[in-house]
Structure 1
Amino acid sequence: MDMSEGMSLLTLVVFGLVYLGMAVGRIPGLLVDRTGIAVLGAIILMAAGVMDGPAALRAVDFSALLVLAGLMVVSAQAGEAGVYEWCAARLAVSPLAPCRLLGVVVFVSGGLSALVTNDVVVFAVTPLLCAGLLRRGLDPRPFVLALALAANAGSALTPIGNPQNILIAQAGALPFWPFVLFCLPVAVASLLLIWAGMAVFWRGRWVLPSGPAAGSAVAAIPLNRHGLIKTAGAAVALLVMLSLPVPQALGVTVVAGALLISRRLATRRTLLLVDWPLLILFAALFIVTHAAQMTGVPSQVLAALGEAGLSLRDPWVLSAVALIGSNTIGNVPADMLVLSLLPDRDPLFLHGLALLSTLAGNLLITGSMANIIAVEAAARQGIRIGFLTHARSGVPLTLLTLLLAAGQLALMGMKP
């Protein structure tokens, strides 16, 4: 075995171990999470000489990282203004009948998640929503499940709704409004399906046998008017910048930079609300995935799949890949892997990948961070949502929404 073959073998071993780590979530016996695993993989490749510093920097898509970081700043501003807590409190004290309240939860969650990080929406809304429902004597479980399912489905609507959409949109330089128009039918239909499906699955089981819970009422959440005006201005400016023929990374960064100019919110506090480990995870995965591309093996894998009659450009095959990938290694690593296999990608394929990988995350609790956050936040309120409880609604609703998305792709001419 010559030096080149040895380097290729090392690269593939590291690549395989990193993606195994994405599936497991940590190194057993150590406090090393997914970000740490990806960083260690990138360090090994660079230390072994597979890639030098400049090559590693070229492998990182800084445009995607800038968009994601900028949106985190916008989301932090909305959080500081009390937008999420205000929405949660209004939902918690709503006198609507359970089925109608469920619909409001679905569309509020989906709408917010289309513009800001879906994980943040779920994290902020779940505790107050649970408290209010318990006070009414309603079972919070269907509402928490609907909140998470809708957050994922709603985030599929825009190229800034979740990290994988940001990654895909930057990889293909996809314009904002064509992306929205493409995903709008499936995203809206998915939200309606989630509402209808959860209403059917939980019909007649809205009320807790123990009755209303004792405790203080949900406190009214005051909106920070100055912060709200600033957040609304930032949202309008963001949409305007994304509509202009300028790079999305530049537009989002300009809006985020303007938000840092404040007399009330310190820059340090705003930047502490940015999810830096997620950005580092992205950067490390870019390096590891690019190193694997350099070996030529991804092209060989793609050719072998084609000979077996399995093409990633087939919407049904891509649906299966998205379903498996999102619920094992995670939708971001899975999408990076798919993109590495297909260097030549058309907009139809990229739109389809964004839709399918996002909707696939609703299958199981572990399919997306929004699901995990919702379940853990509910558990802190004393509400247990087990794996099977989620799967009973998540599995059928995910398969139905994937069927819708794959059907749209097939009708629009996506084929091997």
Structure 2
Amino acid sequence: MLLLIFVTLTLILSILYPSEVVKYPNYVDWETILALAGLLMVTTGIRESGYLNFLSCKAITRVRNKRVLALVLVSLALLLSPLLTNDVTLFVTVPLTASLGEVLNDRDFALKLVVFETIAVNVGSTLTPIGNPQNLFIWHNWGVSFLTFVKFMLPLFALLTTVLFIFVVLSFKGLAEEPKCMLKSYDRTLLWISIILLAIYVIALELKVYRETFVVLILLLYAVLRRDVLKRVDWTLLILFILMFVDFRVLSQVKVISNAVKSLDLSSSRNVLIFSVITSQLMSNVPASIFVSKFTHDWLAICYGVNVGGNGFLLGSLANVIAMRLVKDKKFIKVFHKYSIPFMAVTAILSLFLV
């Protein structure tokens, strides 16, 4: 659905501004697309190894307290997302939580838990430049080092994590039946190959050396050893990201829009943060980071804003949409907004004191 929206927007912009079409390739940050392609492959490899399901099952065995169970799974989502990205982490935690709801015969509990896991991956992924696509774009666009990025994002991560755990403690209570999660074996070879590739690739991205070579190497290794991994990579995310670059670079040059944004006082970091949060609610945080970056060089305020703005309304983050598609429950949107909007409001206000 989201891909269709951006394809349609690209077609409309191409008709309205035909002179821009030849510039489309120049509007795409190909380094970010390349980095995202490599990360998608290796994180999919880790997921397909089955180890994360094994780890998740082990974590929830013999836990009866719903609050403790929620804290365990939310913590798992929080800790995995900085390295595996927010959407890949959801592909692990959401199916597990859905099956847990069936075991416990408590679908409402499972649905609420998925909502908090979704918020958790948005929170956890803020910490590293590879945690989510908007961070990856900002990292590449401003050339900040990996450790510098983490250092500057740590205060926001700490703030969001603290508020998240307060919300979890206040939102869950009571006892559940003992979950019966069968521990299945996992592919150790695929796991270690993928972990080693991830470590090497992150170093290559940080040092800005042999990035193209490593992407080709990763592609060839999986093609030879585990072709099924490549089949399960979400390649449409790359297409979606390319379209976002094109669409919002064109929109940022439309005079009416450009003049309206320029009339705002974006010399203030707090204003940039607020504008980034609001823009994320309207167009999702990945395109918001691309759009806002055309009007200010305050990368940290943008990064704070689009990460805080990942929560709130469903469209705030692609991860939210993915969670909705995975859970396949009509009540998801209502329950999500019940917790996500207050969470975003509280964290947005508190984050103003950090910039």
What TM-score bracket applies, with the shorter chain setting the length? 0.7 to 0.9
Kept in 2, the 8 Å contact 1:105–1:146? The answer is no
Over 3 Å counting, the alpha-carbon distance change for 1:270 and 1:278 in structure 2 is same
| 1:328 matches 2:289 | no
1:76 is displaced (CA, Å) by 1.6
Which residue is 1:154 aligned to?
124
Which residue is 2:20 aligned to?
51
Q: How does 1:111-150 map to 2 (within 5 A)?
A: 111-136=79-104, 139-150=109-120
The one-letter amino acid paired with 1:254 is F
1:255 is displaced (CA, Å) by 5.8
Q: How does 1:32-71 map to 2 (within 5 A)?
A: 33-41=4-12, 43-44=14-15, 48=18, 50-51=19-20, 53=22, 55-71=23-39
Which residue is 1:17 aligned to?
none
CA distance in 1, matches of 2:278, 2:337: 15
Select the residue among 176, 195, 203 that pairs with 1:232.
Answer: 195
Select the residue among 245, 249, 253 that pairs with 1:290.
Answer: 249
Kept in 1, the 8 Å contact 2:43–2:198? The answer is no
Structure 2: gaps of 5 or more residues: none
Kept in 2, the 8 Å contact 1:152–1:362? The answer is yes
Number of matched pairs: 352
Cα deviation 1:162-191 (Å, max 9, x = unaligned): 111112222212221101111112213312
| 1:390 matches 2:336 | yes
Over 3 Å counting, the alpha-carbon distance change for 1:200 and 1:384 in structure 2 is farther
Kept in 2, the 8 Å contact 1:74–1:234? The answer is yes
Select the residue among 349, 360, 374 that pairs with 2:323.
Answer: 374
Which residue is 1:6 aligned to?
none
The one-letter amino acid paired with 1:356 is G
The one-letter amino acid paired with 1:338 is V
CA distance in 2, matches of 1:39, 1:253: 31
Over 3 Å counting, the alpha-carbon distance change for 1:291 and 1:238 in structure 2 is same
1:120 is displaced (CA, Å) by 1.8
What's the secondary structure of 2:99's corresponding residue? helix
Cα deviation 1:299-349 (Å, max 9, x = unaligned): 5334422xxxxx23434433432332222221122222211223xx1xxx2
The one-letter amino acid paired with 1:164 is Q
Kept in 1, the 8 Å contact 2:78–2:121? The answer is yes
Over 3 Å counting, the alpha-carbon distance change for 1:129 and 1:287 in structure 2 is closer
Which residue is 1:257 aligned to?
217
Which residue is 1:272 aligned to?
231
The one-letter amino acid paired with 1:69 is A
What's the secondary structure of 1:140's corresponding residue? helix
Over 3 Å counting, the alpha-carbon distance change for 1:283 and 1:384 in structure 2 is closer
Over 3 Å counting, the alpha-carbon distance change for 1:127 and 1:294 in structure 2 is closer
What's the secondary structure of 1:396's corresponding residue? helix
Cα deviation 1:253-306 (Å, max 9, x = unaligned): 61662463255312xx4443333332223223333333445556565334422x
Which residue is 1:408 aligned to?
354
Select the residue among 135, 144, 158 that pairs with 1:174.
Answer: 144
1:38 is displaced (CA, Å) by 4.0
What's the secondary structure of 1:261's corresponding residue? helix
What's the secondary structure of 2:294's corresponding residue? helix
Select the residue among 293, 298, 309 that pairs with 1:360.
Answer: 309
Kept in 1, the 8 Å contact 2:124–2:131? The answer is yes
Kept in 2, the 8 Å contact 1:126–1:377? The answer is yes
CA distance in 2, matches of 1:355, 1:256: 33
1:83 is displaced (CA, Å) by 3.0
| 1:104 matches 2:72 | yes
TM-score, normalised with respect to structure 2: 0.87
Which residue is 1:198 aligned to?
168
1:71 is displaced (CA, Å) by 0.7
1:251 is displaced (CA, Å) by 3.8
Cα deviation 1:202-257 (Å, max 9, x = unaligned): 335x65xxx789xxx4332211010111122123323433443x25xx44861662
Q: How does 1:217-228 map to 2 (within 5 A)?
A: 217-228=180-191
CA distance in 2, matches of 1:367, 1:318: 17
CA RMSD of superposed structures (Å) = 2.9
CA distance in 2, matches of 1:97, 1:64: 43
The structure having more radius of gyration, on CA atoms, is 1
CA distance in 2, matches of 1:230, 1:259: 13
